[in-house]
Structure 1
């Protein structure tokens, strides 16, 4: 296994700066944000205009900093209710897949998404039409297309899961489509699911791991229940994301389960900690907290 980081926590930095920062801290891989430039989301690589010079630059600079490209990250809604938006997402996913093929075969991460106006069954039926061509395109280039298990409650008007890959029951349906999992244990704590127990049966379908923690507040849970706030959606819920080591995830048991199950990919820090974000200095400190937590477990 290798220890890496998702570049999205430092959207204003160049990929050159991020490679230097990763090497300075001790990270061995980058999960590179590839949202469309100008979309307002992080973009450290423009996959829609990737030239041969760009691919050669990536190879040489990653090698110079002894760093691996662990994944391309584009997390949007392929089941968006607006047909035009859905088509835009599909086209950009294709561009990410093609770029990953040219860059050596790193997996591509996305969401399954959801149309909140349709039932879960209706959404899954549409996913069965949308994803097989993408999986086939990826497979032709030796790419694994993977989905993250984030619930994305902010995509649903009532705060229900807006991304239908949030629990093992749904993972199994998605694996049948040829998809893999970018596993993030932090999302399971807010659903009452044990992250280690949920992981063990599916390690062979895990293409990548995102390391994010979550801190829970049981007294608030007694007010809202597991779904979280319904009326006061902008207020504090009963859990929040933290840097690895500052929440409830048992990282020792989780990494041990990965090793035992034969996982040999990257554990990539995704920093969304409200304490350790907001400024470059905060992010740097948060990355170092995560590194100190995980480095003794993920053997260099």
Structure 2
């Protein structure tokens, strides 16, 4: 395994400044935003996509520092009911897959998106209960008319470009659990997989270790984010899992994100790392920092320090004792 970082947290730094900084911390891989919610501070598709010279110069900046690019990320909502928003997200996605293919980057991360509830809707509709029955009708319409048709086409497109898709299981989007990811994968093919982030499993009441087992059995983990979550049980009792309290109002939220090791202890994270290997994931563990109690650099540094001792870096080899 390699320790990586999603570089959006260093968007205030130039590409060279960012690379020097993360390399000095022991990072071996970077995940770059290309647009959408992550922005494109370190990877300008318009400058790179059709210029082989710039592509070579770009890749040299990473290899010269002993770094690899684990994924390009363009998280957005390509299924948004407002046509302009959906088309912008789709255009970024298509160009990101094309660029990943040209640069030899094996994974593109994004969200599944979430449609509205009918053709003339203005906003996404995320059904989270099976009753009243119209919620089931909405969900059926979304999957049959929007989600599966769109991602069937995009999965074929990704396969043609030899790129895997890592959909982040994130609340508010149609694919947000192991079950919904596997449903889409079954309908669209193995190019669809998870960019699995345990922080989003915890707040939904899902054990990340068990999520790894469920998805790992199907070889459906394409990328992995390292971010923690703390559950504030008194606030959970009051507000529930689908807490709409602002992320900035941490005292009153049912849950909030923490840097690795500050929501769950080292043993829990060691179990996560071990289960990833047990189920065949030996790729990059990419740190994502969204901790409201720590500065960017302190949260990032503590995540690095907590993960490096438990990361499994060497191949197993022969089981010498058997």
TM over 0.5: yes
Gaps of 5+ in 1: 152-161, 277-281
Cα distance, 1:234–1:7 mapped onto 2, change above 3 Å? closer
Instruction: Kindly provide the CA deviation profile for residues 153-206 of structure 1, in whole angstroms up to 9, marking residues without a partner as x.
Output: xxxxxxxxx211211221111212131110000001111111111211212111
1:211 and 1:99 map into 2 onto residues whose CA distance is: 25
SS in 1 for 2:114: coil
Which aligned pairs between 1:219-258 and structure 2 lie closer than 5 A?
A: 219-229=234-244, 235=249, 236-248=252-264, 250-258=268-276
Shift of 1:44: 1.5
2:10 and 2:285 map into 1 onto residues whose CA distance is: 18
2:40 and 2:258 map into 1 onto residues whose CA distance is: 20
TM-score, scaled to structure 1:
0.89
What's 2:174 paired with? Answer: 164
> Is 1:265 aligned with 2:283?
yes
2:13 and 2:154 map into 1 onto residues whose CA distance is: 30
Shift of 1:10: 1.3
Q: Which of the two has higher C-alpha Rg?
A: 2
Shift of 1:283: 1.4
1:88 and 1:142 map into 2 onto residues whose CA distance is: 23
Kept in 2: contact 1:77–1:112 (CA 8 A): yes
2:261 and 2:35 map into 1 onto residues whose CA distance is: 28
What's 1:157 paired with? Answer: none
Cα distance, 1:123–1:198 mapped onto 2, change above 3 Å? same
What's 2:201 paired with? Answer: 188
Which aligned pairs between 1:78-117 and structure 2 lie closer than 5 A?
A: 78-117=78-117
Instruction: Kindly provide the CA deviation profile for residues 122-181 of structure 1, in whole angstroms up to 9, marking residues without a partner as x.
Output: 222211111122211211121001200111xxxxxxxxxx21121122111121213111
> Is 1:197 aligned with 2:217?
no
Shift of 1:234: 7.3
> Is 1:129 aligned with 2:149?
yes
2:166 and 2:210 map into 1 onto residues whose CA distance is: 20
2:142 and 2:14 map into 1 onto residues whose CA distance is: 37
Which aligned pairs between 1:6-21 and structure 2 lie closer than 5 A?
A: 6-21=6-21
Instruction: Kindly provide the CA deviation profile for residues 220-241 of structure 1, in whole angstroms up to 9, marking residues without a partner as x.
Output: 11111222247x8974321110
Q: 1:275 aligns with which of 293, 296, 307?
A: 293
1:42 and 1:90 map into 2 onto residues whose CA distance is: 15
1:75 and 1:60 map into 2 onto residues whose CA distance is: 26
1:238 and 1:42 map into 2 onto residues whose CA distance is: 32
Q: Which has the higher contact order (CA 8 A, sep 6+)?
A: 1
Aligned residues: 282
What's 1:56 paired with? Answer: 56
SS in 2 for 1:170: helix
CA RMSD in angstroms comes to 1.9
Kept in 2: contact 1:79–1:123 (CA 8 A): no
Cα distance, 1:206–1:114 mapped onto 2, change above 3 Å? same
> Is 1:209 aligned with 2:224?
yes
Kept in 2: contact 1:105–1:141 (CA 8 A): no
Kept in 2: contact 1:216–1:248 (CA 8 A): no
